[in-house]
Copies of this chain bind each other. A is one copy, B any other.
Amino acid sequence: MLVNMNSGANEEEILEVETWIKNLGYSVYRSIGETNTILGAIGSSNEEFKKFLEALSFVEKVTLDSPPFLLVSREFKKEKTVFKVGDVEIGGGKVILIAGPCAVEGRESYLQAAEAVKAGGADILRGGAYKPRTSPYAFQGLEEEGLKIMAEARDITGLPIVTEVMDQHNVEIVARYADIVQVGARNMQNYKLLTELGQLNKPVLVKRGMSATIEEWLMAAEYLLSQGNKRVILCERGIRTFETTYTRNTLDISAVPIIKELSHLPIFVDPSHGTGRWKLIAPMSLAAVAAGADGLMVEVHNTPKEALCDGSQSLIPEKYSQMVGSLKGVAETVGRTL
């Protein structure tokens, strides 16, 4: 249930409605918009109560039917969510570029890559210290050692860092180093992890699960917001379809305008995991920005053939810089900067 208060409603009046709703046994959430306040409550609701509330002079309208997500929805909060990570504004006019290798493989190579992507126009550094691998025998990441290397790269480049947390036990340690904590596709419905991250004082980037519906993905974000963490980024990374020869996943660009319509949260796109092939990164990045993406997450590796992980979907720094050049024009055409 959503209750739109009149634009002139005062604190006392808002509290009165909140109390009425709480008395019915529901939790109530408040969204203070530019023009008016909206109250949201989850739970079955009834026509009589709607009529009662709408009869109050300071209530504009009451909506009973709504999708299962509340706090992430545009209906609850009309203004786009914008927040800063270091000096980088997420969700604003500038399209944000996250770049770096899939995994942190060593100090020297990571610092080189970090400087290269900074020079090529990245805003945020990516890198994996804990890697979710299909095989128990594959390289699992450098763990805390990798986090330290990333922190060093941040000190050198001045760019914030984003890295994945796979593990409830490691939330604290990852959060100690990272500026943005990433939830991987395989953990998008790891609800206990989401609940912990919802209580964390750090922005969280939530990748779409590989066969997650739009609604399930928004519900994952709802877990975070319902725990109080409002700095959430959604990141499309390709869905699983029957086409497995020419792409690893099918990058769902339509998720960008759909999320922008349904939610106030910033929406990023990862064309590296989303396609699995480096040749597709540039055209799909252009497509994502044209469709309205708030940011991109791209894998860049100095020597992709030697990468311990996902080399085939990484750009070399030179190609990355070229791509950033062509992105500028598209960003400007759709009213954004880069």
Q: Enumerate chain A interface residues (CB-CB to B < 8 A).
A: 27, 42-43, 68, 132-137, 166-169, 186-187, 189-192, 195, 210-211, 213-216, 219, 222-223, 226-227, 239-247, 250-254, 256-258, 261-262, 274-275, 279-280, 283-284, 286-292, 326, 329-330, 332-334
A190 / chain B contacts, CB cutoff of 8 Å: 166, 186-187, 190
Residues of chain B contacted by A289 (CB below 8 angstroms): 290
Indicate the member of A43, A214, A280, A291 with the most B CB atoms within 10 Å: A291
Cβ–Cβ contact A215 & B258, under 8 A: no
Please tell me if the beta carbons of B334 and A213 are within 8 angstroms of each other in the complex. Answer: no
Contact B251–A280 (Cβ < 8 Å) = no
List, in ascending order, chain B residues with CB within 8 A of A192's CB.
166-169
The reply to whether A135 and B254 contact each other, CB–CB distance below 8 Å, is no
Task: Report yes or no: B257 in contact with A243, Cβ–Cβ below 8 A.
Answer: no
**How many copies of the chain does the oligomer comprise?**
4
Known contacts A136-B195, A169-B192, A286-B334; can you find 20 more A-B pairs with CB under 8 A?
A: A134-B216, A166-B190, A210-B211, A239-B241, A239-B242, A239-B243, A239-B250, A241-B241, A241-B242, A243-B252, A244-B244, A250-B252, A251-B253, A253-B284, A254-B275, A256-B283, A257-B283, A284-B291, A326-B333, A330-B333
Residue of B nearest to A70 (CB): B137
Residues of B within 8 A of A333 (CB): 326, 329-330, 333
Q: How far is the CB of A204 from chain B (nearest CB, A)?
A: 14
Pick the contact of A287 from B226, B290, B326 — CB < 8 Å?
A: B290
Q: What's the nearest-Cβ distance from chain B to residue A139, in Å? A: 12
Partner of A244, one of B133, B242, B329: B242
For A135, the chain B residues whose CB sits under 8 A away are 42, 68, 219, 222
Minimum CB–CB distance for A64 against chain B, Å: 16
Residues of B contacting A169 in the complex (Cβ-Cβ under 8 angstroms): 168, 192
Q: Give A39 Cβ to nearest chain B Cβ, in Å.
A: 15
Complex-state Cα separation, A289 to B287, whole angstroms: 8
Residues of B within 8 A of A288 (CB): 287
**Cα–Cα, bound, A239→B254 (Å):** 12
In the complex, residue of chain B having the shortest beta-carbon distance to the beta carbon of A134: B219
**Contact of A287 with B291 at beta-carbon distance under 8 Å, contacts A168-B169, A241-B239 already known:** yes
> Could you say which residues of chain B place their CB within 8 Å of the CB of A274?
254
Nearest-Cβ distance from residue A325 to partner chain B, whole angstroms = 11
User: Contacts of A134 on B, CB cut-off 8 Å?
Assistant: 68, 189, 215-216, 219
Minimum Cβ distance to chain B for residue A77 (Å) = 17
Partner among B166, B246, B250 whose Cβ is within 8 Å of the Cβ of A191: B166
B241 touches A258 (CB 8 A): no
A328 → chain B closest CB, angstroms? 8
In contact, B243 and A247 (Cβ under 8 angstroms) = no
Cβ contacts A to B, 23 pairs, < 8 Å: A68-B134, A132-B189, A134-B215, A136-B219, A137-B226, A168-B168, A168-B169, A214-B245, A241-B241, A246-B258, A250-B254, A253-B284, A253-B287, A254-B274, A254-B280, A254-B284, A256-B283, A283-B291, A283-B292, A284-B291, A286-B290, A287-B287, A290-B290
